[in-house]
Amino acid sequence: MQHVSTFLPADLTQLANCLHLSASTFSCLQERVRAFIEDAGESDVLVLNVQDPFQRLLLHGVCEFYNVTSTTASSVREGKPWKSTTIKKRLGTGVPSRITLVSFLRMKKNGSQ
């Protein structure tokens, strides 16, 4: 049985700032996951090839926020390590809330809510 971590850092914005991650990268990950959830098509699986470890950490946090599962598998491509993250909708995963994770973190940072 494979264990899936549900680790979600308390303040992803702070972590991103510490490592100088651009907001557009974080927003791009978030929008990709949101689009996948909103897609009513036949596919309940999305595979993203995010190679940067910190960006993968953020991706797993985004998945946790939107209630989808995410697992990362390692392989070798052309003699080099390769990571693929598989995202799956959970039973009952519906349309994501109107508030985005980025907006939620900004509200928390500013003392709202």
pLDDT at 20 over 80: no
Rounded CA-CA distance 62/17 in Å is 16
- The rounded Cα 37 to chain-centroid distance in angstroms is 12
pLDDT for the residue 48: 94
pLDDT at 16 over 90: no
E strand map for 1-113: 45-48, 68-77, 80-89
pLDDT at 4 over 60: no
pLDDT at 19 over 70: no
Domains observed in the chain: 12-107 (3.30.1370)
pLDDT in tens, 38-77: 887 777 899 999 999 989 999 999 999 999 999 999 999 9
pLDDT in tens, 69-113: 999 999 999 999 999 999 999 887 778 888 888 788 788 888 875
Read off the pTM.
0.73
Question: Which segment of 1-5, 19-23, 61-65 scores lowest on mean pLDDT?
Answer: 1-5
Two structure tokens written together for 55: 């960006």
